[in-house]
Amino acid sequence: MIVYKKVNLTGLVLGPIFFLLIFLLIPESELTYAARVVLGITAWTATWWVTEALPIPATSLLPIILLPTLGGLSMEQTSRAYGDPIVFMYMGGFMIAIAIEKWNLHRRMALHILNIIGTRSDRIVLGVMMATAFLSMWISNAATALMMLPVALAVIKEVKANDILSGASLDRFSKSILLSVAYSASIGGLATLVGSVPNAVFAAMSKKLLDREIMFFEWFLFGFPVAAVLLILLFLYLTKIQFKVEHTGEMGAAFIRKGLEDLGKMKQEEKWVFAIFLMTAFLWIFKIFLFGGLPVSDTSIAIFGAMLLFLIPATNGERILEWQDMKQLPWGLLLLFGGGLSLATGFAETNLTGWIGENLQHLNGLSYLMLLIILTASILFMTEIMSNTAVANMIIPITVGLGLAIGMEPYGLMAAAALASSCAFMLPISTPPNAAVFSADVLKISDMVKAGFWLNVISIVAIVLAVYFWLPVVLR
């Protein structure tokens, strides 16, 4: 029997109450009937998302019921958002990620990166970080962390069994390598549109609210340097300041060699998956140079790569991907996209974005830089206790209205909101990677809070500087 927590029940009641308050208290002279309906439903949906009154994907279906029924949007407008191109781009990306995991290619990639980087204490942490971040660029941060956690734990076990480190040094190394898995899984996703859900929300909202398509290459050009800088700073902070360990030799070499030996030679299926993965990434990044003005979208490329995996036969008589493998596809996440985009459609169709912006005009006394700092810090600490996708879905439409109302370029505020939504490092509940490494029973909450707080501060500085100086160069 399901037992609702107090917060679930509270949210269940507050959602409809917020809808009624907004609808009844805002006069029609200030906001049209349809706009009040959309704003009220947004508050209702956001409340249920935050409190998880219903499972988050189930709540994401609420707009399909309420928006057409109450007159906020037509059913056609509402349901179209659930089939938005960004949803299918993510679907294609997830299918490729499922193939990578199905044929164990992700483990081979990780072990090879570790083998190349080296096996001193700091280098093994760097290797784990690089492997985790690279995988997180293409597959979900949760899947990446769950895959890399056994690798990190195996290295710790070998170090302990062979008395390579002991006492405080072993404790510092263990905490360093586990936190590197959690934090790199979140940071790596910043680099690509498919690596982090808020990035894709940014792209989808840009198209929906501003009619500006953000291409994969454009975001990569912006996001990859941000992720690279954060990874470098994370490495220096973990290994040189917070959990410094004296260098030792060949810490995890035996485990890495054994792992590669167990995998054996690269199977034909792995080669096919790797080739399609590289092809898809190459087309995403260089699409603008390869196809010029042809209407080839990032979504088309993702679905094309995924379709090839269903076409190519495997040596066991099946195909590289079979439809039963799609049980692993995060359908709930795709519904979450649809729910957020349907609300964004309501914002655009009823001019809610403009109304919100007008009511935030008192902020026009702040400089753009100060506004970026306040926005980034607020969202970053907000997402410590809230779903990053829910935060992105709620905040990004507001930043559009804010930017337009005070005469500032909205893309900077939107990008800051997207990046900050993915940077939650302080608590085990903040992200699935944080929860995964905390479950290893090596870290204390105080370890994560202390390390995560300073990484949050570093992230605020990096995001603000990147958005202020680099984003205008990329999105000219």
Q: How does DSSP assign 406-473, residue by residue? A: TT--HHHHHHHHHHHHT---S-TTT-HHHHHHHTTS---HHHHHHHHHHHHHHHHHHHHHIIIIIHHH
Encoded amino acid at 107, one letter: R
Is 191 within 8 Å of 141 (Cβ atoms)?
no
Q: On the CB side of 460, how many CA atoms lie within 13 Å of its CA?
A: 19
Measure the CA–CA gap between 294 and 254, rounded to whole angstroms: 51
pLDDT of residue 250: 56
Encoded amino acid at 203, one letter: A
pLDDT of residue 13: 94
pLDDT of residue 368: 86
Distances (CA, A) of 367 to 8, 193, 364: 39, 29, 7
Residues composing the chain: 476
pLDDT of residue 309: 95
- 20, 24, 29, 30 alpha-carbon torsion, rounded to 10°: -50
Residue 66: CB atoms within 10 A of its CB come to 21
pLDDT of residue 376: 92
pLDDT tens figures, 317-360 = 889 999 999 988 888 878 887 888 888 788 878 888 778 767 76
81-120 in b/e form (b: 16+ CB < 10 A) is bbebbbbbbbbbbbbbbbbbbbbebbbbbbbbbbbebbbb
Measure the CA–CA gap between 348 and 341, rounded to whole angstroms: 10
Q: Does the pTM exceed 0.75? A: no
User: What residues does each domain of the chain span?
Assistant: 1-72, 86-328
Structure tokens at 361: 């005009």
Cβ neighbors of 452 (< 8 A, separation 6 or more) are 183, 424, 425, 426, 427, 430, 434
Structure tokens at 459: 């992230």
Kindly tell me if the per-residue pLDDT of 247 is higher than 80: no
Structure tokens at 306: 């995924």
pLDDT of residue 77: 92
Chain-wide mean pLDDT for the chain?
85
Average pLDDT over residues 126-137: 89
| 3-class DSSP assignment, residue 214 | coil
Closest CA to 269 of 211, 330, 335, 315: 315
pLDDT of residue 118: 66
| CA end-to-end distance (rounded Å), the chain | 55
Structure tokens at 225: 């340097």
Task: Count Cβ atoms within 10 A of the Cβ of residue 253 and give its class: 0-12 exposed, 13-18 middle, 19 or more buried.
Answer: middle
Measure the CA–CA gap between 422 and 390, rounded to whole angstroms: 11
φ, ψ at 264 (rounded to 5°): 70, -165
* Largest distance between two CA atoms of the chain: 75
Query: Which of 259-263, 343-347, 383-387 has the lowest average pLDDT?
Result: 383-387
pLDDT tens figures, 313-326 = 998 888 999 999 99
pLDDT of residue 253: 67
pLDDT of residue 205: 87
Compare 112 and 24 and report the one with higher pLDDT.
24
